[in-house]
């Protein structure tokens, strides 16, 4: 096969030979698998292997690797078109283009500017569209335009252009990737002149922009307009487009939602009915973690332009924004009306601290004998706070996450009362409890803390660990009403085996089960192994660390050098027939034991 070009094509014209090159085959060897990587990004429906010279082309087996573009399920979508062509009592309606049958086509009359449109019933980032037409009169789609957006104005033809169709081949699938990023609820195919529009089958590719579930979120607004009813803020997220939130006609009206979590926000969709005061052009959308100035001081997501009543309007954030609060505000003196709001984004990974273990330097107790213990900072109640005793030498609060996490950020809430400002505190993360965890790496220093709202703090560098400590220097009390920690848990490669075996038999067991005896290379590995060790039935557990008398050196059986260690004092001896164990008890130090002793052991999955 040496010399054969492999091409990937979106159509089958000239058998795919004129399509984009994936690679040229070189150094082909018979009797074995030959792997060839595409030299650049290619995508399509057809893959062609072509020999440019006169010869037999022989392929015994072919495997193709790639990822399918995301096909949108249009089963429940709503289609429409400019008109329905009828013949012999049959209406060639718009739904025939998405029924899965390539022989039944949607067909308009021969008319000026015909169009076909689909309502995807959700906002999608559209990557491309595939169209199949039978060979016949008027089935060539050259010159058609594909548009994507959230407006039905002018039948969707005013929406952003995905692409213009050219080189259409009848009797086969034609794939058209969008030439730029487009998103929306409606996809429209139209001709700019007079003719019939025929579509036998249409497939649309893209990813749905998942709306954030706001069912339990807390909304508020600058004022409530009242007529027969109060047009309160919650009406903008109740799922009913006819029941609108509505402020009074006052200066700088605003509407805000507390998402009750930290989100990366990508965009917002707003629906307003088409009546007086519902045009939102000129409004600003802000996203962040501050409620100062009603959230208007937070970072701008976007400014609303060209708002249209009676339809969904989609607005993408012009830069990366994240936070807990989304605020929509209008400058000047106006009514602010929102009939329905959908917010798109992804929630940051909130660590579940339900079973975590908290502690603090001391417990303040009130006059009624109620201790303000450490667990109150993670109980989900922002009115019940953890509180240390004032005038101590130092104040700290610590949580054991019972796992090793890559930590990205923290959110803290304190009531706006005396001594709740924790500006100047430090957040430490690591695997050590030494000096109450304050010897661990600093995630960040807390600045500009504001009571009465959530405060978000991002780690200034990558940190990971089992323990998170909040440390407040000086004699002030440390008060934490609620703490949320965001990050991803590191998967443990270790598995505790509760069987008593000698070191050699433990090694055989692990390897017989596609594992090896545990290798510990750093602090995170040590901590993950400790979490297994504490559940052991024996006071020690075998590790994969062995002493060789021939070389007079300790080595890991997985072929790593011994660098990181946690030896107990005097235990790194040089005796033959010895291997390392981890103690089950607190500290989890390493000891040297005879290979013939029997203990539980820790295997490692590679």
Report yes or no: 273 and 495 within 8 Å, Cβ to Cβ.
no
Rounded to whole angstroms, how far apart are CA atoms 501 and 118? 67
Angle at 94 between CA 92 and CA 98, to 5 degrees: 110
How many other β-carbons are positioned within 10 Å of the β-carbon of residue 206? 23
Q: Per the structure, how many domains does the chain have?
A: 5
pLDDT at 6: 64
Rounded to whole angstroms, how far apart are CA atoms 471 and 461? 18
Tokens 């999955």 belong to residue: 605
The closest of 484, 412, 395, 481 to 447, measured between CA atoms, is 412
Rounded to whole angstroms, how far apart are CA atoms 40 and 105? 37
Phi, psi of 322, rounded to the nearest 5 degrees: -150, 155
Residue 28 is classified by DSSP as -
Rounded to whole angstroms, how far apart are CA atoms 411 and 425? 14
Phi, psi of 510, rounded to the nearest 5 degrees: -60, -45
- Domain with 575 in it: what CATH number? 3.10.100.10
Instruction: Kindly state whether residues 466 and 537 are assigned to the same domain.
Output: no
Say whether 14 sits in a helix, a strand or coil.
Answer: helix
215 assigned to some structural domain: no
Say whether 115 sits in a helix, a strand or coil.
Answer: strand
How many other β-carbons are positioned within 10 Å of the β-carbon of residue 311? 17
The encoded tokens of residue 469 equal 């400590």
Tokens 């407006």 belong to residue: 151
Total length of the chain: 606
Instruction: Kindly state whether residues 485 and 388 are assigned to the same domain.
Output: yes
DSSP lists the bridge partners of residue 553 as 548
pLDDT at 443: 95
Report yes or no: 574 and 547 within 8 Å, Cβ to Cβ.
yes
Phi, psi of 236, rounded to the nearest 5 degrees: -80, -10
Instruction: Kindly state whether residues 515 and 468 are assigned to the same domain.
Output: no
Instruction: Kindly state whether residues 378 and 276 are assigned to the same domain.
Output: no
pLDDT at 55: 76
Instruction: Kindly state whether residues 118 and 160 are assigned to the same domain.
Output: yes
**Taking the C-alpha atoms of 69, 81, 158 and 121 in order, what is their torsion angle to the nearest 10 degrees?**
-50
59 assigned to some structural domain: yes
Final residue of a domain: which of 67, 88, 115?
67
Q: Is the pTM of this model over 0.95?
A: no
The closest of 168, 174, 172, 127 to 148, measured between CA atoms, is 127
Instruction: Kindly state whether residues 474 and 514 are assigned to the same domain.
Output: no
- Domain with 329 in it: what CATH number? 2.60.120.260
Instruction: Kindly state whether residues 137 and 157 are assigned to the same domain.
Output: yes
Q: Kindly provide the b/e burial profile for residues 321-334, where b requires at least 16 CB atoms within 10 angstroms of the residue's own CB.
A: bbbbbbbbbbeeeb
Report yes or no: 191 and 113 within 8 Å, Cβ to Cβ.
yes
Instruction: Kindly state whether residues 107 and 192 are assigned to the same domain.
Output: yes
Final residue of a domain: which of 287, 320, 347?
347
352 assigned to some structural domain: no
What is the distance between the terminal CA atoms of the chain, rounded to a whole angstrom?
A: 37
213 assigned to some structural domain: no
pLDDT at 42: 77
Say whether 431 sits in a helix, a strand or coil.
Answer: coil
72 assigned to some structural domain: no
Report yes or no: 360 and 478 within 8 Å, Cβ to Cβ.
yes
Instruction: Kindly state whether residues 307 and 395 are assigned to the same domain.
Output: no
How many other β-carbons are positioned within 10 Å of the β-carbon of residue 257? 25
Rounded to whole angstroms, how far apart are CA atoms 519 and 394? 38
Rounded to whole angstroms, how far apart are CA atoms 412 and 470? 11
pLDDT at 138: 87
Instruction: Kindly state whether residues 361 and 485 are assigned to the same domain.
Output: yes
Q: Which residues of the chain have pLDDT under 70?
A: 4-14, 16-19
Rounded to whole angstroms, how far apart are CA atoms 365 and 389? 8
Rounded to whole angstroms, how far apart are CA atoms 528 and 496? 11
**Sign of dihedral through CA atoms 229, 230, 231, 236?**
negative
pLDDT at 13: 58
The encoded tokens of residue 212 equal 């954030």
The closest of 487, 352, 347, 354 to 408, measured between CA atoms, is 487
460 assigned to some structural domain: yes
Instruction: Kindly state whether residues 269 and 337 are assigned to the same domain.
Output: yes
Rounded to whole angstroms, how far apart are CA atoms 301 and 288? 9
293 assigned to some structural domain: yes
Rounded to whole angstroms, how far apart are CA atoms 450 and 547? 57
Instruction: Kindly state whether residues 484 and 498 are assigned to the same domain.
Output: no
**CA dist 133 → 81, 102, 547 (Å):** 17, 7, 73
Name the burial class of residue 31, with classes exposed (0-12), middle (13-18) and buried (19+) by CB atoms within 10 angstroms of its CB. exposed
331 assigned to some structural domain: yes
Rounded to whole angstroms, how far apart are CA atoms 256 and 235? 12
Residue 60 is classified by DSSP as S
Q: Can you count the helices (H) and strands (E) in the chain?
A: 2, 41
Residue 31 is classified by DSSP as T
For the chain, what is the radius of gyration of the CA atoms? Answer: 33
Final residue of a domain: which of 208, 234, 265?
208
Instruction: Give the range of the structural domain holding residue 105, as residue numbers without chain letter.
Output: 78-208
The encoded tokens of residue 603 equal 């295997």
């Amino acid at each position: 096969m040496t010399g054969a070009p492999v091409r990937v094509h979106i159509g089958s014209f000239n058998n795919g030979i004129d399509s984009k090159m994936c690679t040229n085959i070189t150094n082909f060897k018979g009797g074995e698998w030959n792997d060839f990587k595409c030299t650049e990004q290619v995508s399509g429906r057809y893959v062609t292997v072509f020999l440019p010279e006169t010869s037999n082309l022989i392929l015994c087996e072919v495997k193709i690797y790639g990822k399918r573009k995301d096909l949108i399920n249009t089963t429940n979508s709503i289609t429409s078109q400019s008109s329905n062509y009828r013949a012999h009592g049959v209406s060639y309606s718009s739904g025939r283009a998405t029924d899965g049958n390539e022989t039944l086509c949607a067909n308009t009359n021969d008319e000026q500017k015909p169009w076909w449109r689909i309502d995807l019933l959700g906002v999608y980032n559209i990557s491309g569209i595939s169209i199949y037409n039978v060979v016949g009169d008027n089935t060539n789609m050259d010159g058609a335009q594909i548009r994507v957006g959230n407006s039905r104005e002018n039948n969707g033809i005013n929406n952003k252009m995905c692409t213009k169709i050219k080189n259409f081949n009848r009797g086969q699938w034609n794939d058209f990737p969008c030439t730029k990023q487009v998103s929306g609820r409606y996809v429209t195919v139209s001709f700019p002149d007079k003719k019939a529009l025929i579509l036998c089958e249409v497939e649309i590719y893209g990813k749905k922009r998942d709306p954030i579930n706001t069912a339990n979120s807390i909304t508020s607004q600058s004022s409530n307009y009242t007529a027969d009813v109060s047009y309160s803020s919650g009406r903008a997220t109740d799922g009913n487009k006819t029941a609108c939130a509505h402020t009074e006609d006052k200066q700088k009206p605003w509407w805000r939602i507390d998402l009750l979590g930290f989100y990366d926000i990508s965009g917002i969709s707003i629906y307003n009915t088409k009546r007086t005061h519902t045009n939102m052009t000129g409004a600003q959308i802000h996203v962040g973690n501050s409620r100062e100035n009603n959230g208007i001081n937070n970072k701008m997501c976007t400014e609303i332009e060209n708002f249209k009543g009676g339809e969904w309007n989609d607005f993408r954030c012009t830069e990366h924004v994240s936070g807990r609060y989304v605020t929509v505000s209008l400058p000047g003196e106006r009514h602010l009306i929102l009939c329905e709001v959908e917010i798109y984004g992804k929630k940051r990974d909130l660590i579940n601290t339900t079973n975590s273990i908290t502690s603090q330097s001391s417990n303040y107790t009130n006059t009624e004998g109620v201790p303000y213990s450490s667990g109150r900072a993670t109980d989900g109640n922002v009115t019940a706070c953890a509180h240390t005793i004032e005038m101590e030498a130092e104040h700290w609060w610590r949580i054991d996450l019972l796992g090793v996490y890559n930590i990205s950020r923290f959110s803290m809430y304190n009531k706006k009362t005396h001594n709740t400002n924790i500006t100047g505190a430090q957040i430490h993360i690591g695997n050590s409890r030494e000096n109450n965890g304050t010897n661990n790496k600093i995630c960040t220093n807390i600045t500009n803390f504001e009571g009465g709202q959530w405060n978000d703090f991002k780690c200034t560098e990558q940190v990971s660990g089992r323990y998170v400590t909040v440390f407040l220097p000086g004699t002030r009390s440390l008060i934490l009403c609620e703490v949320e920690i965001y990050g991803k848990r590191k998967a443990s490669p270790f598995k505790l085996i509760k069987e008593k075996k000698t070191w050699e038999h433990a090694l055989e067991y692990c390897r017989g089960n596609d594992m090896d005896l545990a290798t510990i290379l750093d602090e995170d590995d040590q901590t993950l192994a400790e979490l297994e060790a504490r559940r052991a039935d024996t006071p020690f557990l075998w590790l994969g660390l062995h002493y060789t008398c021939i070389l007079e050196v300790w080595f890991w059986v997985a072929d790593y050098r011994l660098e990181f260690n946690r030896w107990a004092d005097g235990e790194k001896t040089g005796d033959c027939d010895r291997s390392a164990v981890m103690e089950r008890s607190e500290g989890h130090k390493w000891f040297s034991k005879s290979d013939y002793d029997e203990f539980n052991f820790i295997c490692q999955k590679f």
